[in-house]
Structure 1
Amino acid sequence: MVLSTESLATPTSTTCFDDGSYTVSKRSIRKSSSSDTPNPPLYIVYPNEKGTYPVILFLHGFSIPNISYTDMFEFIASHGYIIVAPGQTLIELLRGLCVFSAVGDVDSAAETANWIDENLQSVLPNDVSPDLENVALAGHSKGGKAAFALALGHANTSLKFKALIGLDPVAGRDNADRLEPKILNYIPKNFNISLPIALIGTGLGDDGCCGCFPPAAPWGCNHPFFFNECKPPTCYFVAKDFGHMDMLDDWLAKLAGMFVCKTGKGSYADMRRACGGIFVAFLKAYMFNEPVDLTAIIDSPNSVAPIKLDPVLWLKS
């Protein structure tokens, strides 16, 4: 691995962690008998102002409602992005609890990607358009693993992605019990992915909760192992003092912290702002060749970010 330390610019401040200039709206779209909408209900957050905006296909974590990322989605959309987040039906939720696999998640993600390519414009206001030349693929937890699997070609889609972002991705219960399709092989730079990649990990994700629950992002299947298999260009950020679900809306982050996984002591709002700001800075750099914010984070992470980031790496070659 080669860590680049050269700076393209050293700004005194960055705007990616501040609220964007756009107002936003959100809507849920369910499948009907006369609709081409994919079966998982879709949650869409978009800017209100007239314009053409890049798109993020975001895949939720295991059994996590897609609407529970609303605060983070609204922050990202305020910077001029359309987020499309597929959800899950009750049957899919029950199947996910019984079948230890992500194959169905990858297939559903591909179905949603094809729907974005063909039908997203039809559910947006007439003066708000998706920029289908600039589409990012992202996901959290099990959805992060599904995003990597889709990027690796485990399902086919007509939509072409410009970047990949993994938000504390999880590949399974442990390295001997990984979710299908198994994508981690523990070989450095093994992923055959030509996209620029950003990884956001959590420092507490591989800790259990109250001594009763196993880690939500267990060692051997969590972010450092994904990073090890990524090829440059890759950016890597670890929210050192936060847990696996601390970027969710407050109600679920608090609930998860009591019953599911270890939570940090910092502000959930700051964690969401940090994750959203990294999304914005990374996509500006790799979609639009505007690396100033990303460079600022890499050069001085704890001067510009609202939370402690350690480590922070940018592998360019």
Structure 2
Amino acid sequence: MQRSVITLLLVLPIACNGGGTSSGTGTETGTGPGTGTGTTTESTGGETPTTGTTSPPVTTTTATASEPTSGDPTTGPTSTTATTDGPDTTTAATTDDSTTGEPAGDVYDPDEDGPWQYDDLAGEIDVDGEAIGVTAHYPTSGPEEGPYPVVLLAHGFNLPPTQYTNYATRLASHGYVVVNVDHAGYLFGPVDHVANANQLLAGLDWAAGHPELGPISDVDNAGATGHSLGGKISVLAAMYDARIKAAITLDPIDGANMCPNMQACPDVSGLLPIAIPLGFLGETLDTAGFMACAPAAENFTTFYAEAGPPALQVTVNGANHMSFLDDVASCGITCSFCQMPTLENAVVNELARAYVVAYYGRYLRGNAGYDTYLTGAEAQQRYVDPGLVTIAEK
């Protein structure tokens, strides 16, 4: 069917998340290919967690080359150059809300701002001739000096990076250097998810070489978080670059809508598992129906089904595909095609921010004290018991 510009606008719910035909299939929580056995624990509001048996993948794919390439995860790096603007003077409010945790360090409540003050600066990177904007939020003072773990942020298709600023500022206040990358994932640009992943990874090189960020950035201990298409390319980036040690994504979609070929838009869930912790937050309101925003055959559960342990799946009950943005009310037409959520945008955004902070506290800082906020007592009390989420882990 030929598509006019008007038609393209009508398919925004699919284009927005990179949806379309993919080789992934809808899978029940906790199952995956292979012949081994494992244990998957699910928690639901008002119920006692149950234990089932799953079949995790037999093979393990490790992260490959330390720098990305366009089109092939096993070959050399892309060429990048960077120019930057100076930092501004914005400073976050801080909090004393912390408790002494495991020997690895203190545990700070991820649902509150952490004890670090932070600043931000903007720049631009040239990645294979494409000008990619970047904004960094970084700690300036706090209970520990750097270098700090680095977290890459990837926006959803046709969505601005500014819709994820809440995640950046919360992470920076907990002692992370956050690079929010404006990759070329927009409606009227070329559709190339491999190129988008390389653009995201260029943020690590930019941070490492930046005079302000370089001395405080531990780019060899990095995470990747994205929403929708950004979630897919975050996992893809982790496959390309061993510097990424963990990834937690927000309603990722493993689609290939309007892609020229599968080389440009690979079936990422089909390439799992990889040898790093993976977390997936998602929803089920937008998984069915005409032009679903998050089709069941490509949604977050397909990533979790193929991921090896440790892996975490958090289903946010009552959220829709766009609920993970900072402010849906300012999103405009791009957000107007998804199902109406029954859970407030602010509630989902706060919950998701807390999970992202807790996940990186656990897997980039190696502090097991954050388990209580992921699957333990605090998660049960705050999210599971009130019926906000269902949790599965393996």
For the aligned pair, the TM-score class normalised by the smaller chain equals 0.7 to 0.9
Cα separation, 2, equivalents of 1:36 and 1:181 = 20
SS at match of 1:162: strand
The residue identity in structure 1 corresponding to 2:311 is T
Distance verdict in 2 for CA 1:267–1:24, change over 3 Å: farther
Task: State the Cα deviation string for residues 36-61 of structure 1 (Å, max 9, x = none).
Answer: 99831001112231621211011111
Distance verdict in 2 for CA 1:308–1:115, change over 3 Å: farther
Give how far 1:62 is off.
Answer: 0.5
**Residues 297-316 of structure 1: matches in 2 within 5 Å?**
297-300=374-377, 301-305=379-383, 308-315=387-394
Q: Which residue of 2 aligns with 1:223?
A: 300
Cα separation, 1, equivalents of 2:266 and 2:335 = 31
Native 8 Å contact 1:173 1:221 kept in 2: no
Cα separation, 2, equivalents of 1:145 and 1:294 = 25
Task: State the Cα deviation string for residues 269-296 of structure 1 (Å, max 9, x = none).
Answer: 2222211111121112222332223234
Cα separation, 1, equivalents of 2:354 and 2:332 = 24
Q: Percent identity?
A: 23
- Does residue 107 of structure 2 align to residue 39 of structure 1? no
SS at match of 1:152: helix
Q: Which residue of 1 aligns with 2:20?
A: none
Give how far 1:255 is off.
Answer: 3.2
Q: 1:168 aligns with which of 229, 247, 251?
A: 251
Native 8 Å contact 1:173 1:218 kept in 2: no
The residue identity in structure 1 corresponding to 2:235 is F
- Does residue 117 of structure 2 align to residue 23 of structure 1? yes
Cα separation, 1, equivalents of 2:129 and 2:381 = 44
Distance verdict in 2 for CA 1:311–1:253, change over 3 Å: farther
Give how far 1:254 is off.
Answer: 5.5
Cα separation, 2, equivalents of 1:296 and 1:40 = 34
**Residues 251-290 of structure 1: matches in 2 within 5 Å?**
255=332, 259-290=336-367
Distance verdict in 2 for CA 1:257–1:278, change over 3 Å: same
Q: Which residue of 2 aligns with 1:71?
A: 166
Give how far 1:119 is off.
Answer: 1.3
Q: Which residue of 2 aligns with 1:144?
A: 231
SS at match of 2:200: helix
Give how far 1:215 is off.
Answer: 1.9
Distance verdict in 2 for CA 1:207–1:36, change over 3 Å: closer
Q: Which residue of 1 aligns with 2:209?
A: 119
Moved over 6 A (4+): 35-38
Cα separation, 2, equivalents of 1:41 and 1:98 = 15
SS at match of 1:271: helix
The residue identity in structure 2 corresponding to 1:97 is F
Task: State the Cα deviation string for residues 129-163 of structure 1 (Å, max 9, x = none).
Answer: 1123421122211111111222223xxx5x61111
Root mean square deviation, CA, Å: 3.5
Q: Which has the higher contact order (CA 8 A, sep 6+)?
A: 2
Cα separation, 1, equivalents of 2:206 and 2:228 = 23
Cα separation, 2, equivalents of 1:274 and 1:37 = 38
Native 8 Å contact 1:145 1:171 kept in 2: yes
The two structures have a TM-score, normalised by structure 2, of: 0.64
Q: Which residue of 1 aligns with 2:269?
A: 184
Cα separation, 2, equivalents of 1:113 and 1:31 = 11
Q: Which residue of 2 aligns with 1:48?
A: 140
Pairs aligned (count): 288
Distance verdict in 2 for CA 1:235–1:258, change over 3 Å: closer
**Residues 91-102 of structure 1: matches in 2 within 5 Å?**
92=184, 96-97=187-188, 99-102=190-193
Give how far 1:244 is off.
Answer: 1.3
Give how far 1:16 is off.
Answer: 1.7
Give how far 1:99 is off.
Answer: 4.3
Give how far 1:100 is off.
Answer: 4.2
Cα separation, 2, equivalents of 1:242 and 1:229 = 23
Cα separation, 2, equivalents of 1:27 and 1:308 = 39
Distance verdict in 2 for CA 1:24–1:287, change over 3 Å: same
Give the gaps of 5 or more residues in structure 2: 1-37, 42-48, 51-100
Q: Which residue of 1 aligns with 2:217?
A: 130
Q: Which moved more, 1:39-48 or 1:229-238?
A: 39-48
The two structures have a TM-score, normalised by structure 1, of: 0.78
Q: 1:58 aligns with which of 153, 165, 168?
A: 153
Give the gaps of 5 or more residues in structure 1: none
The residue identity in structure 1 corresponding to 2:209 is N
The residue identity in structure 2 corresponding to 1:242 is A
Select the structure of larger CA radius of gyration: 2
Q: Which residue of 1 aligns with 2:73?
A: none
The residue identity in structure 2 corresponding to 1:314 is E
SS at match of 1:2: strand
Native 8 Å contact 2:304 2:313 kept in 1: yes
Cα separation, 2, equivalents of 1:82 and 1:37 = 26
Q: 1:199 aligns with which of 277, 280, 284?
A: 280
Cα separation, 1, equivalents of 2:205 and 2:129 = 10
